[in-house]
Amino acid sequence: MGEDRPKHQPIHEAVRPLLDPEYVAFHDKYLQYVVPDDKKIWDGSARTTAASWAPTESTPVQVGAVRDIKPGPGRHFDLRVWTPEVDSSPASGYPVFLWFHGGGWAVGSVAAGNDICALICQRAACVVVSVGYRLAPEHPFPAAFDDAVGALRWVRSTEGAQELGNIDNARIAVGGTSAGAQLAASLSLQAALLQPPVEIAFQMLVLPVIDNTATTSTTWASRANAPWLTPARMLWYRKMYLREESDALRWEASPNLAPRDLLAKSPRTWIAVAEQDLLVPEAEAYAVQLREAWELSSVERADGEVVVSRYEGSTHCTLAFSGILTKGQQLLQDAANQAAAWFQR
């Protein structure tokens, strides 16, 4: 019967042999029949409509506590907080990991990414704070970025320290996936400009949006036929978030466009890329940019301060499908291991 249904997102035949067979099977069974968001009239339903397939994230591991927080007046974001088991509490306090969900700045919430947040909390023995930032199109750029900065300030504040409990708010890392990774990368840059500056321990950029000026004529040319996150879909998200073309030229939206001296202030970085993702060229180029910025500014960095992990045959769905794809589970485990290793330095 499935063959009688219209295929809205068939895999391009030139790409099919390059893809992970597990992903191909899932795409052919489910995803090719889904009407792309960019073909619909936006009404907000994409935020609440459940997928027609089983949950694709992994089951979250158990941690000490999970709770939702609404910060005080004047702050427009929600938070979900994961705290490790009490008996692992260090005398100096837990380090803090700020996480930003994906969803093209238009969908998603703190309910997304429970698996990665819980695993990082457990394995890295840190407090994980997922930020529910304001969403486009109701709240276009720079609302999400402003909320990211606001969340960092809150963690550093007296209110945040009291609410989160035994934390070491001098040891803060940031991370995110897709659009959330863009927020994390730009936040790392902004942190260096705050007064006083906030030193970020490391940034974790998973399948990141880095360049909001990219097109199929430029950066995306080699991945123009990527499945699921297609160029049309990415542009659809971008147009909802960035109302003015000039917005894309700001490093708060495109971190790769930051001046070199600011890029040189970026923290050590882990970038996870999926080989067949539309966004892989801009992510890998950003790693090169960071290395060059440090070299040309004489900033001393140890070997491996930019680590790029490439998941062959994978797509933009990799982390979101960690519960059904072997490579998604590998990415999930790698992220938690990387956080643990860098917080222990």
| CA–CA gap between residue 7 and residue 228 (Å, rounded) | 13
pLDDT digits (tens), the chain, 345 positions: 446 899 999 999 999 999 999 999 999 999 999 999 899 888 887 787 766 666 688 999 999 999 999 998 889 999 999 999 976 678 889 999 999 999 999 999 999 999 999 999 999 999 999 999 999 999 999 999 999 999 999 999 999 999 999 999 999 999 999 999 999 999 999 999 999 999 999 999 999 999 999 999 999 999 999 999 999 999 999 999 999 999 999 999 999 999 999 999 999 999 999 999 999 999 999 999 999 999 988 776 655 599 999 999 999 999 999 999 999 999 999 999 999 999 987
Identify whether 41 is part of a domain. no
Identify whether 339 is part of a domain. yes
The question of whether 8 is a catalytic residue gets the answer: no
Q: Give the side-chain half-sphere CA count within 13 A for 332.
A: 28
* C-beta separation of 206 from 174 below 8 A: no
Catalytic residue among 58, 277, 314, 322: 277
* C-beta separation of 81 from 129 below 8 A: yes
Identify whether 199 is part of a domain. yes
> Which single residue is written with the structure tokens 């457990």?
122
| CA–CA gap between residue 330 and residue 119 (Å, rounded) | 13
The question of whether 101 is a catalytic residue gets the answer: no
Identify whether 13 is part of a domain. no
Q: What is the largest CA-CA distance in the chain?
A: 62
Count of the separate structural domains present in the chain: 1
CA Rg value for the chain = 19
Look at the pTM and tell me if it is higher than 0.85. yes
Phi-psi region of 228 (alpha: psi -120 to 50; beta: other; left: phi over 0): left
Identify whether 125 is part of a domain. yes
Identify whether 8 is part of a domain. no
Q: What is the pLDDT of residue 56?
A: 85
* C-beta separation of 68 from 80 below 8 A: yes
The question of whether 178 is a catalytic residue gets the answer: yes
b or e along 92-128 (b: 16 or more beta carbons within 10 Å of the residue's beta carbon)? ebbbbbbbbbbbbbbbbbbebbbbbbbbbbbbbbbbb
Look up the CATH number of the domain holding residue 154.
3.40.50.1820
Q: What is the pLDDT of residue 209?
A: 99
Catalytic residue among 147, 266, 316, 322: 316
| CA–CA gap between residue 273 and residue 188 (Å, rounded) | 19
Quickly list H helices, 172-230.
179-191
Identify whether 29 is part of a domain. no
Domain that holds residue 247: 59-343
pLDDT tens digit sequence for 34-67: 999 899 888 887 787 766 666 688 999 999 999 9
- Counting other chains too, the contacts that 290-294 makes at CB distance below 8 Å and 24 or more residues apart are 290/263, 290/266, 292/260, 293/260, 293/261, 293/263, 293/264, 293/266, 294/264
Identify whether 175 is part of a domain. yes
Catalytic residue among 178, 188, 254, 266: 178
| CA–CA gap between residue 334 and residue 21 (Å, rounded) | 21
Q: Work out whether strand 167-177 and strand 78-83 pair parallel, antiparallel, or are unpaired.
A: unpaired
